Amino acid sequence: MRPGASRGGARSAPPSPATVAAMSGAVDLAALKARSDAAARAAEAPAPAAGSYVVDVTEATFQTEVLDRSFQVPVLIDLWADWCQPCKQLSPVLERLANAAAGSWVLAKIDVDANPRISQALQVQSIPTVYAVIGGQLVPGFQGALPEAQVREFVDAVVKAGQEAGLAGVAGAAPEADDPDAAPEPPEDPRFAAAEQALDAGDYALAAQRYQAILDQEPGNTEASLALGQVQLLQRVESVDRAAAARADTSPDDVDAQLAAADLSLAGNDVHGAFDRLLTAVARTSGADRDRLRTRLLEYFDVLGPDDPRVSTARRELARALF
């Protein structure tokens, strides 16, 4: 699946380059290739049967029931424990809303005592905690047993985001009434389809070449620009000099080491770590070295998208460091 889109031509909001991807000793917040793989698996997997809208999830089933499923339908994660009294107030509300929604979203219940690696990876501070996952992207939710009206507001926002991302929902979901005034969905652009095909095959160089060809024809194509930035990050991480990255903390003036370590941090979803490392290096350098660091930061901003609040903060810090 191409970055920032869903199959069949429906466009979604630009995804973060680092999203929940797999359980392998812990929940690995990995990069775009894992999203593409998960999306492909979800496209081939059967949707939940009608009535199966509340699922008990374990570390073994997290990939299938949460990550892969989130490319079909929004998944809300309810992190709870048997001893937690607020959990006993919130969980029945979520379960009732999930069943009433009849497939417009799925509730994944995770017992934190039985599945500690998930709660550790998600950095859960207290329970109950609720997250949403849409197209492989983790969306912060809330903590505590909120009033049902507020829970409904969050659920409604998640469902709307899933619709905007082009998720089709699961079997049994109530279909929306056709809007006769709605514009027809645009057909799939064959140029993006070709780039997506290369990305799915793991040929990042060819994918980058095809996205660049789109930009050569249309310099203002933001979707192609975003996708190219994500693919370029994957290319760098695939061939990153890990020896250089390992010496970054002890060699603050080694620009190559700082760039390599920052790429690994971003691909591992440590956005703040990547930003802080490069912003610190910008303040220490000048000339060509500073320009390399600045350019890499701008690439990160493009990959994450202008709506990410971390980007606006880092832009201000970069301006202060430069001027």
Of 73, 87, 124, 274, the catalytic one is 87
Measured in degrees and rounded to the nearest 5, phi and psi for residue 77 equal -100, 125
Pairing of strands 106-111, 75-80: parallel
Active site residue 45: no
- The amino acid sitting at 154 is F
Query: What is residue 65's DSSP assignment?
Result: I
Tokens of 250: 């002890």
Residues 6, 185 contacting (CB under 8 angstroms): no
**Residues near 176 by Cβ (< 8 Å), separated by ≥ 6?**
none
Residues 321, 281 contacting (CB under 8 angstroms): no
Of 57, 76, 84, 311, the catalytic one is 84
- 164, 199, 159, 170: which is closest to 185 by C-alpha? 164
The CA distance from 137 to 122, in Å, is 13
Coil vs helix vs strand at 223: helix
- The amino acid sitting at 92 is P
**Residues near 95 by Cβ (< 8 Å), separated by ≥ 6?**
54, 107
CA distances 129 to 27, 123, 134, 238, Å, are: 16, 10, 17, 34
Coil vs helix vs strand at 11: strand
Active site residue 84: yes
- 169, 171, 168: which is closest to 49 by C-alpha? 171
Match 């903060």 to its residue by tokens: 313
Which amino acids are annotated catalytic? Answer: 84, 87
